Amino acid sequence: MNPQPPAPTCIRHPDRATGLACTRCGRPSCPECLRPAAVGQHCVDCLGQDQRAAPRMRTVAGATVARSAIPYVTYALVAANIVIFAITVVQSRSLVDNYYGSPLFAHWMLVPDLVAHGQWIRVLGAGFLHWGPLHLAMNMFALWVVGRILEPALGRTRYLAVYVVGLLGGSAASMIFQDSNAAAAGASGAVFGLFGAITVFLIRVRQNPNQMLILIGINVFISFSVPGISLSGHLGGLLAGTLAALGVLFVPEWLRATSQEAVRSIGWASIAVVGLVDLIAIGLAAAALA
């Protein structure tokens, strides 16, 4: 009498005998490792291969939809601004008048004449300084609100690039239009750049942008009416961020780009062009003051 062959065991659980098998790959699998399919049942390994092979969902900007919706870049920018503000508070020994007696504030605030004489760090550094806690709170609240929407839409790296382009646009406008010995500081240029970018995004996804347009109008009016606020810096950041977002969200469609690689390349090229224009404007303004 021939011995009966042993029953097959689950490919994932060798200690479990099973008479079932995946109708796709044919491997024996226990009920726990099988899922109903249109025809028969598929094992979890085959289902996992299907999920990995499936194209990732993308936003209108061509960004991959992240599994985590946490806006890490926005939080990092807020944290960086708060840390730098805290350093100026400690150095000045004043929460309100943190710009007096702080070497960091003195070395980073944007003074066009000093930039023209080689102190280029001020072009970027000024975007992380704030005149007291109220100035910081207003900018960081706006960044937090806008960033949570815009960062997932553009993708983290392009969102950061638009932020930097807006910051540089604000610095460029300040270099050109403000008094050569006047000091400017704040993330407002970058934040206004995000205001422009999210307005473009709302138009791209066919949402009503009126609330953002009203918010921008109110902020421009305040910048124009209240002494000591850099209107040129705000408008420069707004223009740069808007143009960069147009390049990411609309130019690929205008050029009839069909592949995701082309969409991303055109978006990055557009951001680079706006950033280059910012740097050229800064350089020309510095050369005129030197």
Catalytic residue ranges: 188, 234
Element (H, E) at 36: strand 34-36
Q: Give the separation between CA 263 and CA 254, rounded to whole angstroms.
A: 11
Q: Give the separation between CA 208 and CA 2, rounded to whole angstroms.
A: 79
Q: Say if residues 111 and 179 touch (Cβ distance below 8 Å).
A: no
Q: Say if residues 176 and 232 touch (Cβ distance below 8 Å).
A: yes
Element (H, E) at 43: strand 41-43
Whole-angstrom Cα Rg for the chain: 27
Q: Say if residues 256 and 209 touch (Cβ distance below 8 Å).
A: no
